[in-house]
Amino acid sequence: MFLISAPSGSGKSTLVNQLRSLVENLEFSVSYTTRPPRGSEEEAREYHFISREEFQRMIEADEFLEYADVFGNYYGTARSSLTHAFEQGKDVLLDIDVQGAAQVRRKVPDAVTIFLMPPSPEILAYRLRNRSRAEGAVQEEIIRRRLARARDEIENYREYDYILVNDILDRAVEEMAAIVAAERMRRNHGSQTPDDEELIAKAEKCRQRNSEARIKPVLQAFGVVNAEAAPV
């Protein structure tokens, strides 16, 4: 199980979509949400869009591996989607927020966790405004709330195995693909080619304990105190 979290507007959906086109046998778990679709989003592609009443029914029936209330909307991962992927012999990629990630880590402690950081508050605000324009209106109060939440989420970076900074999308995609490949090799214990060793080395550079120099400017830009990476 690969779990990726990021503040809203960090480019996570774009990264995940590109990763899925590059990596085989990786099933993307489509989450459920009570918020309405944005822009070109489609049912069962980005999310399953359901009513709050239906989401409550699923909670009561214990159908979620995790769920969270984010800005007044529910988001959750159904257990059934994971069961289906594992039955087909595929790895699973979960795109969930910090709250949901904490729940999954408690239930699946060997999940591989990845945190995607935006390079700065200014770039994150720019991306959020562009997304808002595409949806029809720029609401500055919502953008301020999301920036404040981004800082709170980034403070949880120590809880993740790997850290990526999405300053250059192609590089972030390559790093994410390397992490998937390296974790598969680590768990399969097979022989490794020089290309395999190169992928492992690229993934290792993204481990939290090896990312301090790269992420420190981001932490400082967001005002995250005690910006020292702790070993994982």
Tens-digit pLDDT profile for residues 94-136: 999 898 999 999 999 999 999 999 999 999 999 999 888 877 7
pTM: 0.90
The span from the CA of 149 to the CA of 118, in Å, is: 13
Confidence of residue 39 (pLDDT cuts 50, 70, 90): confident
pLDDT at res. 226: 60
Angle at 26 between CA 230 and CA 9, to 5 degrees: 55
Amino acid at 27: E
Element (H or E) spanning 25, and its range?
none
Non-local CB neighbours of 133 within 8 Å, separated by 6+ positions: none
Burial class (CB in 10 A: 0-12, 13-18, 19+), 225: exposed
The span from the CA of 117 to the CA of 98, in Å, is: 12
C-alpha to C-alpha distances, 78 to 47, 150, 212, nearest whole angstrom: 11, 25, 34
**b/e per residue, 96-114, with b = 16+ CB within 10 A?**
bbbbbbbbbbeebeebbbb
Q: Hey, which CATH number is domain 2-29+91-221, 3.30.300.30, 3.40.50.300, 3.40.50.1370, 3.40.630.30?
A: 3.40.50.300
Locate 178 and state its tokens: 């390397």
User: Does 27 score more than 50 pLDDT?
Assistant: yes
* Nearest Cα to Cα of residue 115 among 64, 71, 175, 70: 175
Residue 86's DSSP bridge partners are: none
Alpha carbon 183 to its chain centroid, in Å, reads: 17
In this structure, the strands spanning 162-165 and 112-117 are parallel
Note the pLDDT tens digit of each residue in 48-59.
999 999 999 999
Note the pLDDT tens digit of each residue in 163-173.
999 999 999 99
